[in-house]
Structures are given as structure tokens and as C-alpha cells.
Amino acid sequence: MSDAKKFLYVNRKAPYGTIYALESLEVVLIAAAFEQDVSLAFLDDGVFQLTRDQSTDAIGVKNFSPTFRALGDYEVTKLFVEKESLDERGLDPSDLQEIVWEDEEEDWEEKPSIRIVSRAEMADIMADQDVVLSF
Amino acid sequence: MAYQVNGSTIEADEEGYIVNLDDWSKELAAEIAKAESVEMTENHWKVIDFLRKYYDEFQLAPAVRVLVKNAKKKLGAEIGNSKTLEEMFPKGAAKQGCKIAGLPKPTGCV
Amino acid sequence: MKLGIVVSEGPYTHQAADTAYHFAKAALDKGHEVPRVFFYHDGVNVATRLSVPPQDERHIQKNWTALAAANDIDMVVCIAAAQRRGILDENEAKRQGKDASNLAEGFRISGLGQLIEMGIECDRMVMFGD
Amino acid sequence: MSTLHTVNKSPFGDGALSSCIAHCKAGDGVLLIEDGVYGALAGSAISEAVVACSADVAFYRLEGDVAARGLPGAKLIRQVKPVGYDGFVDLVTEYDRTQSWL
């Protein structure tokens, strides 16, 4: 992994109103095959992508929120969510769906993929990347 | 193109993927497999069942390496290895498996 | 330096495809390489050859086609995004059973892997969108 | 290791510039392009935040976009420096990475 680049996928938009969230997820699923160091950032309205209980039957649009739970299978295990963005929107980490990955090295122990970080930590994460893609 | 199942016609695209995912049934899967020259064994059905459950849970047809990894865990190493899966589905376990399982056509993204 | 460019918004509605074009030109003028431009989201609509803007407006697709031809730029249109929005080359039109194709010269349809590859191989990547 | 941020939306209808400023680090650069150039207006609701941030972050405005929108030079924040497309390219190469606040 030493020559792997660090890729950060920045999600700042809410789902369904526009297609960016869905097409961002499609990029991440493909990116996972390239053995780079992949992280996802959710801030501003992007935190709305991860809320529980999304049900799209009435709007006739595909519900892609369950797909986030498959990311662990794709070895995408770092989903950074900004605490201030949640706070500003009256959300709490418990309003987000649970997303886990199985650690092969620890007997497939399930570990949380969502990591709540402060705005300052998010800035550090952004500054630590080789490539930043925004959606 | 189309498949005939129990006297009804099921619409499919040029490559044999069914157009309406709700049309899927085991009888239809058997017809698709026949058209693909895949002889369905018990193990084939296990993989098809796994693919449908995976799609139900995640709204996603798994990439082939994810299929192999999960099949190993859920169905055992005997089926869950890329060599066996390739032999079972010569045109690609993810691609051909998904076609028979009635999942969306992969967009061919990589 | 190798500069990769992503255009992720549609032409005419949004300025992104224009800004990206001026940026690419300026980069090439300065002697940098622009090996690839990747079109995603509504950005794939830049690649239709059926666009007919009024004569007193810029022709975004033709500008890109000319720039790419003169500078050997690989212009890649994301297949998944293109299929949703009805941008097809001849092969795809046949594969999908459609009666026409509309991909302009100089563009090619390929997968998202080309975007990741560009990120790996370029020294910098710049995204233009909304 | 520093970042060039690009912002292409007016700060008066969108939070991109505020969010960008909140995530900038000392030594970073912020380039205002397209409708983002409205963020260069002095005496606006956001100009104080821009001026305060410009103490350790370099601000730039894409001149073509400023001219297209008829923003009077006298009304622009003096710390936001003008660049052309060639200057845009230089900034991209001088900073280690580019992050677009789309």
C-alpha cells in the first residue's frame, strides 16, 4: 500500500433532490477496486445521506441508502461524519444508520465504519489527502 | 429478445437481461440459464439465492471479488472460490450470475 | 505537470464546462500536460454531437473536440452516467437496442475506473461542477 | 502540504464559501471562480469573514468571471488578488492539491 494514493470523497449534498449522492457512491464502489486508500467525508447537507429509515416508495426513486452498508465488503471502512454539521441540522449520531465492516484480522469482528469527527479534525483529514473528489 | 415461461412471454434486452426485475421466478431463471448454456446444479441455485439476497439487502449487485469473498463466508470455501465460480458461470460469476438471478445489468463500469 | 480535469455539470446550464475548457487551454499553453478530461454527472451531455447552439454563442462540444484533437487529450464520458442521460456511441446503441447514437468525435465512453486512474496518474486533479 | 480551494457559488445563496473558510488551514489558498467571485465584494455580509481569514489564507478571484459580472474594482476586497486562467493554472501547480467546494 506504500505507493497507494489517499483519495477523499467529499459529500456535501443531500440525497434524492439531486443525483450527486448516488453517483458519488457509484464512484466509491469502483474506486474500491483500485487498492488506493479510500476515505469518505460527510459534511454540510451530505450528512443527510446517512440518515436511517429512508423510504423512497412514494417518490419512485431508487433507495440507495442500504448500499452504504455494503461498503465494508468493498474494504471502504472510513466514513468520516462532521459533528458540527450534524449539530447544525439538529441531528444526532443515533439518527444515522449503523454501518459496520468486518475486520478479517480480528476474526471478522464487526467494527463501526462511521467515525464522528469535529470540524477541525475534518480539516486535518482533508489536508492529509493526495486527491480530493467533491460531490 | 424474450423468454417463454409457463405460456407467458417475459421481455428481455438484446443481451438477455430481463427488462422488469419483478418478472423473475425460479422457472424463468432456469430458462435464462438454458439460453446461457449453464446447467443449473444445486450449487448454482445456492449462488443465485445468495445474489438475490445480497441485492435485497444492499440494493447492489456485488462486484465479483465481493461475491467470491461473501460466497466463501456464507456458502463455504468449496463454492466460494473464484475458480469454482468461474467454472459454474463461464461468462463471469457476477455478470452471468446476475443475469440468471434477475438483477440489474452491470453498467460495465471498470 | 500532468493535470487531470473533471467536468461534472452540463453545458449551457452551468459554466463548469466553459471554465474547465479555459483552464485546460491555459494549462496546455503553459506547457503542462492534460492527458485526460473525465465527464461525469450531467457533464456527459457535453459529448452529444446533436447540440445546435445559436451562431453567436460558443459551441461547447466543438470547442472541446478541437482542443482534444490538437493536444491529444483523452476525453472520457462515464458509461453509467451516459446511459442514464442518453449519450451513446455506436456500440452502446447496438448493445442497448437503440436506434441511434449521438457521441461526438473525440469523446469515448468508458468506465469510472478511468476517473480513478486519472487521479492516480496525474500530479493534480481539478473538478469543475456545481 | 497545502491546498488550493476553489469556490464557484455566490456566498449569498449557498454555504460553500463559509464551509470552505471553516475548513481552510493556514497556508492554503482560496480561488473564487464563476458565481463564487461575488464573495470578493467588500462591505457584504460575508466580507468580514473573508478579510479575517485572509490573515493566513491567500484569496484570489478569477478576473474573467469578475469582469463578466461587472463587479466594480473599487468595491472588491483588496486582499482578494486577481488572477487570469494562466494564474489559475499556476495556483493549481503551486499548491499540493485542489479541492473544489461544489
D19 touches chain C (CB under 8 A): no
In a domain, A100, yes or no: yes
Alpha-carbon distance of B87 to D57, in angstroms, equals 59
What CATH number is associated with residue A85? Answer: 3.40.1260.10
pLDDT in tens, D26-46: 999 999 999 999 999 999 999
Q: Which residue of A has its CA nearest to D100?
A: A134
For chain C, domains (ranges, CATH) are 3-128 (3.40.1260.10)
D64 touches chain C (CB under 8 A): yes
State yes or no: is B98 an active-site residue. no
For chain B, domains (ranges, CATH) are 2-35 (3.30.1420), 42-101 (1.10.10.370)
Contacting A residues, span 2-61, partner chain C, CB-CB under 8 Å? 5, 7, 19-20, 23, 26-27, 30-31, 33-34, 36
Q: Count CB-CB contacts under 10 A for residue B68.
A: 21
Read off the pLDDT of each residue in D66-87 and give the average, rounded to a whole number: 97
In a domain, A1, yes or no: no
Catalytic entry in C68, C78, C79, C109: C78
Residue-level pLDDT at D1 = 81
DSSP summary character for residue D37: G
Q: Which residue of B has its CA nearest to C78?
A: B109
Residue-level pLDDT at B14 = 84
Q: What is the mean pLDDT of chain D?
A: 97
Confidence check: pLDDT of D95 > 50: yes
Identify the residue with better confidence: B106 or B99. Answer: B99
3-state secondary structure chain B: CEEEECCEEEEECCCCCECCHHHCCHHHHHHHHHHCCCCCCHHHHHHHHHHHHHHHHHCCCCCHHHHHHHHHHHHCCCCCCHHHHHHHCCCCHHHHHHHHHCCCCCCCCC
DSSP summary character for residue D63: H
Low-confidence ranges of chain C (pLDDT < 50): none
Q: Which domain holds residue A48?
A: 6-134
pLDDT along chain A (135 residues), means of 10: 85 97 95 94 98 97 96 96 98 97 91 98 98 97
The reply to whether ipTM tops 0.90 is: yes
Chain C residues contacting D via beta carbons under 8 Å: 1, 3, 8, 15-16, 19, 22-23, 25-27, 29-30, 32, 123-130
Measure C69 CA to nearest chain A CA, in Å. 27
Q: Which residue of A has its CA nearest to C116?
A: A31
Q: Which of C2, C29, C67, C127 to mutate to test the interface with D (most CBs of D within 10 A)?
A: C127
Read off the pLDDT of each residue in D20-26 and give the average, rounded to a whole number: 98
In a domain, A39, yes or no: yes
As for how many domains chain A has, the answer is: 1
For chain D, domains (ranges, CATH) are 3-86 (3.40.1260.10)
